[in-house]
Structure formats: structure tokens, C-alpha cells
């Protein structure tokens, strides 16, 4: 019965089965033709094709292949031409890139077409570039504006300024197409980072996940105005800026954390020479942060110091009921050609302090010159600030001190000290000097301002 059923099916659909079996050979022939189409170029010489590809990349990607070791054709997983050990010059940013593997994926009919080469995308693997800091933005802008598809795997960027190393970005991945379009990831300071770019490069977001760092940059290219925001751990930093070819203006700027809080306005003049003018208004200032500053290391960077010209005003007003040691502070600091001039006045419990002087930062052993006057109206409250309790008179005291201080050698020289216009003799000046060096200046310059040390010094000389 079953055999009869199968025989009827065979008789009725024999033509259909013959057609199916014929398609089997047709598909095999078609597949073999495609395979030969893809594989055959492996055995050809591609030097002529290399010139076509070089011209295509120059016209469509704005970079020029200066040299390469060899070119190979690979059929799988997708047909591509691979340049090995290639040197590329980005024309707009005038930057040279060394690429171990430059892979060009041609359109299907461009595999054999010698007249009109076209590519779907290019991928650059294992890349290294020395990039001047002045060309960095142009380099990123050139990549982000590419309409043709381009992708970088393992891009390493060394940023320099006047042939001096600034920073290195490692293992960077970047693509201007696909689900990770205009997304950058890599390493900086051996830590992973992520960045996102808008198509017009008017918004940039940067993240350092392991350090809880997030920064955002909004930029209006037409007006050259923008906003920068940053969050680093528990510190928030934000400023607006306006740029032209001659200056950079920073305003509506603030920084907030538990130890430091200030508002700031800065004008950076770029031409004809670099000059910086800044105004800082502090609301919160923890003196403990100064202990982390290596002053000697900073003073050793004389090549940088002599290039800075700046005028800075610093204002601090203590909030009511706060525990700040200083009530009000006004400080002006001007730096030009390595010479620093300062003038400051501050208030501690109705007692007025004023100092001015200068410091040549380019000298081998910088001397800080000072000329200070102190008007003590409430001696009792002033001593109480240093946890010193003693009976005092209501007499108003006028103290004047003049001298210089050697930062590296930890020495001080008092030229003159007077109290209510009465000068102290040389023997007393020598005593004040020795006590100062043994108690206040026995370690570092910044530790001179420690409350406990000042207390010990006062108790010593009273």
C-alpha cells in the first residue's frame, strides 16, 4: 500500500523533483563562481591597485599614504586590501600616523575595477602618533567630521608641546559608524576612560569610571562660547568661556568641595604675549590642603615660571559663626619674568595685618622679602585664637617687621622690628631669628603657618 502511494507521488510530481535537482547544480555553480571571484585576486599583483587606493584615501579621507611595506588581498571574512607598516599623513592637522595594519574594504565591483575604486570602510589597527597639543583639536575634529566610514583599533597618542612630553593616550578605540559611532574608549594614566562626541563636536563627554571623574564640554562654534563642567569624586567644577583668536575669557566659574569653595573670573590674553588676570573669591578654605603642596618642586620648574605673566586677586571672607582662623583676606599677587610681587592684608578678631614684598623665583636660592605691619587692637582675643590665655592690657600695639626669608636654606633675617615706633636692638633681633628658625622654620616653608608652631613661638618670645 505504501509503495503504491509513493509511486503515485512520483508520477504526479516527477517534473517538480527534476527541477529541484537541477537547482542544486545551479546553486553549486553560482557559489563556486562567487568563490572564484573572491579568491582569484589573491594571486594577482596589487601595486597598481595600491596607487588607486592611495588616491581614493587622499580624496575621501584627507590623508596621504607616504610609505608602506607591502599590500595584500584577503578574501575572508570580507574582501579587503591590507597595507602593512604604513605611514600616513593627515593633511588638515599636519600629523603623521604610523599604522601596522591599514585595512580597506572595497565595494564588490571595486575588487577588479581599476578605473573607479570605491570602499565601504577602512580600519586602522595598532597605530601610533606624536601629536602637538596645538593640533590635537584639529586631529579629533578631522576624524569626527569624516563622512566615510573609518575605525581605529589600538590607537596610541603621545601629546607633546615644543618636543616635551605632556600626556599619553593608549589603546584607543574610535569609530564614526555602527552602534559605537563617535564613541571613544582607551586608557590614560593606565586607567580606562570613555568619551562621547557629537557629530559637530559641539558636545564632548569624558568619563574616568575607576576614579569617578565626569566632564562635559558644550561648545557653540559660531560664537566660540561654551560651558565646561566637571565632577571629580566630591568636587564640582564649572565655568563658562568665550574665546577669540586673541584671548580666552572664563566667567561664572566655581569650585565646590568640603575643603575648598571659590568663585572665579579669568582673562587669558594670548597675543601679543601670554598674560593672565584672575579674581578669586573664596568662601571656604581648609589650610590643611597646603600641606600637600611641594613648594620646592614647584620652584625648580624655572623654565615654566619665566614664561608666566599673571595678575591675581584673592579675596576671602569668613562666614559668620565659622571656625576659620582668618576673618577677611585680600591678596594681590603679580608674576612677571620670574619675579613675584605680593601685597596682602587680613583681619583676625579686629586685629589688622598688612604685608608686602617680592620674590625672584628664578634665583638658585630665592629670597622672600617682606615688610609687614600689625595693628593689635584686642590682644586678648588674638592670643585666644592661638589657645593662649593670659592677662593683657587694653593698650593698642603697632608692630612693624622687615626682613627676608631663604626658602631653601630655612633661614630668616630680620632687618628691623619695632613696637609702637620703638626699635628692638640687634641682640633681640638675633634672638627672634634663632627662635623662628628653631620653632617655626625647622621643616618646610608652608609649615611656618601651622597654628601650634605659631603658638609655641609666641610663648617663647613673650
Boundaries of every domain in the chain:
22-162
Residue that wins the pLDDT comparison between 296 and 415: 415
Q: Let me know: does 397 contact 420? Beta carbons within 8 Å.
A: yes
| Entry pTM | 0.68
For residues 147-167, average pLDDT? 85
Q: Is the pLDDT at 263 greater than 70, yes or no?
A: yes
Q: Is the pLDDT at 286 greater than 80, yes or no?
A: no
Q: Is the pLDDT at 246 greater than 90, yes or no?
A: no
> Given this model, what pLDDT does residue 37 score?
47
> Given this model, what pLDDT does residue 2 score?
47
Q: By mean pLDDT, which of 21-35, 90-104, 141-155 is the weakest? A: 21-35
Q: Is the pLDDT at 3 greater than 60, yes or no?
A: no
For residues 152-157, average pLDDT? 94
CA of residue 103 relative to chain centroid, distance: 32
For residues 451-461, average pLDDT? 85
pLDDT in tens, 107-126: 877 777 767 888 899 999 99
For residues 2-14, average pLDDT? 51
- State the pLDDT confidence band at 340, using cuts at 50, 70 and 90: very high
CA-based angle 263:306:278, to the nearest 5?
Answer: 15
Q: Is the pLDDT at 6 greater than 50, yes or no?
A: no
User: Which residues, 6+ apart, have CB-to-CB distance to 201 below 8 Å?
Assistant: 140, 141, 144, 145, 219, 221
For residues 328-340, average pLDDT? 92
For residues 272-283, average pLDDT? 87
Q: Is the pLDDT at 369 greater than 50, yes or no?
A: yes
Q: Let me know: does 62 contact 91? Beta carbons within 8 Å.
A: yes
Q: Is the pLDDT at 361 greater than 80, yes or no?
A: yes
The whole-angstrom separation of Cα 35 and Cα 27 is 12
Q: Let me know: does 56 contact 33? Beta carbons within 8 Å.
A: no
> Given this model, what pLDDT does residue 45 score?
65
Question: 150: helix, coil or strand?
Answer: strand
Quickly list DSSP for 234-298. TEEEEEEEEE-SSEEEEEEEEEE-SSEEEEEEEEEE-SSS-EEEEEEEEEEE-GGGGGG--HHHH
- State the pLDDT confidence band at 156, using cuts at 50, 70 and 90: very high
> Given this model, what pLDDT does residue 461 score?
80
When the pLDDT of each residue in the chain is averaged and rounded to a whole number, the result is: 83
Strands (E), 33-182: 63-67, 70-74, 80-90, 95-106, 119-132, 149-161, 164-175
pLDDT in tens, 373-388: 999 998 888 888 888 8
> Given this model, what pLDDT does residue 335 score?
93
pLDDT in tens, 181-234: 888 999 988 889 998 887 677 788 888 887 778 888 888 878 888 899 998 878
pLDDT > 70: percent of the chain: 88
> Given this model, what pLDDT does residue 414 score?
94
> Given this model, what pLDDT does residue 35 score?
52
pLDDT in tens, 57-87: 998 888 899 999 988 888 778 888 899 999 9
Strand partners, 341: 334, 358
**Helical segments of 126-199, H only:** 136-144
> Given this model, what pLDDT does residue 313 score?
95
> Given this model, what pLDDT does residue 380 score?
86
The whole-angstrom separation of Cα 213 and Cα 235 is 9
Q: Is the pLDDT at 88 greater than 60, yes or no?
A: yes
Q: Let me know: does 236 contact 257? Beta carbons within 8 Å.
A: yes
Write the DSSP symbol of residue 8: H
CA of residue 124 relative to chain centroid, distance: 26
- Composition of the chain by helix, strand, coil, percent to 5: 25, 45, 25
> Given this model, what pLDDT does residue 5 score?
46
CA-based angle 318:461:391, to the nearest 5?
Answer: 70
For residues 317-327, average pLDDT? 75
Residue that wins the pLDDT comparison between 405 and 131: 405
> Given this model, what pLDDT does residue 371 score?
96
Closest CA relative to residue 52, chosen from 111, 103, 117, 109:
117
Amino acid at each position: 500500500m505504501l509503495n503504491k502511494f509513493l509511486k503515485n507521488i512520483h508520477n504526479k510530481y516527477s517534473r517538480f523533483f527534476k527541477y529541484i535537482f537541477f537547482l542544486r547544480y545551479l546553486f553549486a555553480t553560482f557559489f563556486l563562481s562567487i568563490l572564484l571571484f573572491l579568491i582569484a585576486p589573491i594571486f594577482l599583483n596589487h601595486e597598481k591597485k595600491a596607487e588607486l587606493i592611495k588616491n581614493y584615501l587622499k580624496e575621501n579621507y584627507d590623508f596621504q599614504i607616504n610609505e608602506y611595506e607591502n599590500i595584500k588581498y584577503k578574501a575572508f571574512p570580507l574582501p579587503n586590501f591590507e597595507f602593512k607598516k604604513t605611514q600616513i599623513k593627515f593633511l588638515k592637522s599636519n600629523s603623521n600616523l604610523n599604522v601596522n595594519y591599514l585595512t580597506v574594504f572595497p565595494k564588490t565591483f571595486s575588487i577588479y575595477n581599476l578605473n573607479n575604486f570605491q570602499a565601504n570602510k577602512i580600519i586602522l589597527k595598532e597605530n601610533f602618533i606624536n601629536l602637538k597639543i596645538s593640533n590635537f583639536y584639529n586631529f579629533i575634529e578631522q576624524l569626527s567630521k569624516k563622512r566615510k566610514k573609518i575605525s581605529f583599533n589600538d590607537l596610541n597618542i603621545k601629546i607633546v608641546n615644543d618636543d616635551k612630553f605632556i600626556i599619553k593616550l593608549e589603546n584607543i578605540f574610535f569609530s564614526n559608524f555602527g552602534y559605537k559611532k563617535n564613541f571613544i574608549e582607551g586608557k590614560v594614566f593606565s586607567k580606562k576612560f570613555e568619551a562621547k562626541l557629537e557629530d559637530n563636536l559641539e558636545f564632548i563627554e569624558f568619563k574616568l569610571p575607576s576614579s569617578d571623574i565626569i566632564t562635559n564640554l558644550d561648545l557653540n562654534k559660531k560664537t566660540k562660547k561654551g560651558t565646561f563642567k566637571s565632577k571629580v569624586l566630591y568636587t564640582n567644577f564649572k565655568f563658562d568661556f568665550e574665546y577669540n583668536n586673541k584671548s580666552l575669557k572664563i566667567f561664572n566659574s566655581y569650585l565646590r568641595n568640603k575643603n575648598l569653595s571659590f568663585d572665579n573670573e579669568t582673562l587669558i590674553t594670548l597675543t601679543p604675549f601670554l598674560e593672565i588676570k584672575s579674581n578669586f573669591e573664596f568662601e571656604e578654605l581648609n589650610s590643611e590642603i597646603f600641606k600637600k603642596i611641594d613648594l620646592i618642586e614647584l620652584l625648580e620648574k624655572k623654565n615654566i615660571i619665566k614664561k608666566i605673566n599673571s595678575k591675581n586677586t584673592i579675596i576671602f571672607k569668613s562666614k559668620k559663626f565659622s571656625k576659620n582662623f582668618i576673618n577677611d583676606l585680600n591678596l594681590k599677587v603679580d608674576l612677571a619674568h620670574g619675579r613675584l610681587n605680593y601685597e596682602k592684608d587680613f583681619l583676625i578678631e579686629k586685629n589688622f595685618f598688612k604685608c608686602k614684598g617680592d620674590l625672584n623665583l628664578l634665583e638658585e636660592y630665592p629670597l622672600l622679602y617682606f615688610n609687614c605691619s600689625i595693628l593689635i587692637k584686642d590682644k586678648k582675643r588674638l592670643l585666644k585664637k592661638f589657645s593662649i590665655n593670659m592677662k593683657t592690657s587694653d593698650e593698642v600695639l603697632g608692630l612693624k617687621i622687615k626682613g627676608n626669608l631663604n626658602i631653601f636654606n630655612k633661614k630668616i633675617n630680620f632687618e628691623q622690628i619695632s613696637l609702637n615706633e620703638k626699635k628692638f636692638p640687634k641682640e633681640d633681633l638675633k634672638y627672634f631669628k634663632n627662635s623662628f628658625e628653631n620653632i617655626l622654620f625647622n621643616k618646610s616653608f608652608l609649615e611656618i603657618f601651622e597654628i601650634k608652631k605659631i603658638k609655641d613661638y609666641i610663648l617663647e618670645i613673650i
